[in-house]
Amino acid sequence: MHRPEIGVDIEKIQLLLSFKMQGAHLVSASFDDYQSLVDAVSLADVVICAISGVHIRSHQILLQLKLVQAIKRFVPSEFGTDPARMEEAMEPGRITFDDKMVVRRAIEEAGIPFTYVAANCFAGYFLGGLCQPGFILPSRERVTLLGEGNQKGIYVDEDDIAAYTLKAIDDPRTLNKTIYVKPPKNVLSQREVVQIWEKYIGKELQKTVLSEQEFLAVMKEQNYAEQVGLTHYYHVCYEGCLASFEVDDDQEATKLYPEVRYTTVEEYLKRYV
């Protein structure tokens, strides 16, 4: 589904045409036209929403409320930390989790079948920058460790998130459940990620430690959108929120779908060598 008002955005047109060439059926609809949403989603059995929840770009999580009444089965835009486990999240970053829970409550109150996908850390945001906020390419000289760099994170290639999501939408085992994407080889600390990179480049990086207090002081100096993103780094890298609980096999994607070959952290980092 795409907006009708594309205009002369040639990159968007090329992206949509690439989807069509791969077999996608394009449907024009708008969040500003409710009937167009009803007409669009009536063509599908399942709706997967990937609307932006990143404040440094555009945070549109609550727009999904307009979809809720017209859907047979909904996979809302989450794909990160499970918001149900972030009731104690810090301001201002908790707004992302709070908004996602508003959408969840609306889905459940409407009695719409759902699947929630908690995919943890996008590899593109975390691994390329060696888990450093504001970096998406790994340095060959230095790295800043958040705390001692020992808290475990969970890093998932975006293509793998899509693969597991598509597996889940036709699976009765995932109906009205949260599934977690937790590839066992990708549950690593920042320090372990750095060590993999050092092995590839054949040298040890110069390391600086950023304490929790220093991180919070730096965060307070940033604009609102940056603070939201940094709050998420804080919970992952200083508190270890992603790996602090166990996931049952019937809710863990790599256990549910062992036929999917996921990209390991080692394989992902190799592309930057």
Return the axis-axis angle of helices 224-237 and 212-220, rounded to nearest 10°.
170
Cα angle 113, 153, 74 (rounded to 5 degrees) comes to 10
Tell me if residue 270 is catalytic: no
Integer Cα distance of 194 and 189 in angstroms: 9
Hey, what are 199's tokens? Answer: 């092995």
* Spatial contact of 128 and 137, defined as CB atoms under 8 Å apart: yes
* Spatial contact of 63 and 100, defined as CB atoms under 8 Å apart: no
Hey, what are 1's tokens? Answer: 């589904």
What does the DSSP assignment read for 21-81? HTTPPP-B-BTTBHHHHHHHHTT-S-EE----EETTTEE-GGGGGGTGGG-SSEE-S--SS
Catalytic residue among 20, 72, 100, 182: 100
* Paired residues of 144 in beta bridges: 208
Place of tokens 């059995």: 45
* Spatial contact of 128 and 135, defined as CB atoms under 8 Å apart: yes
Strands 53-54 and 58-59: antiparallel
* Spatial contact of 233 and 88, defined as CB atoms under 8 Å apart: no
Q: Which residues are catalytic?
A: 100
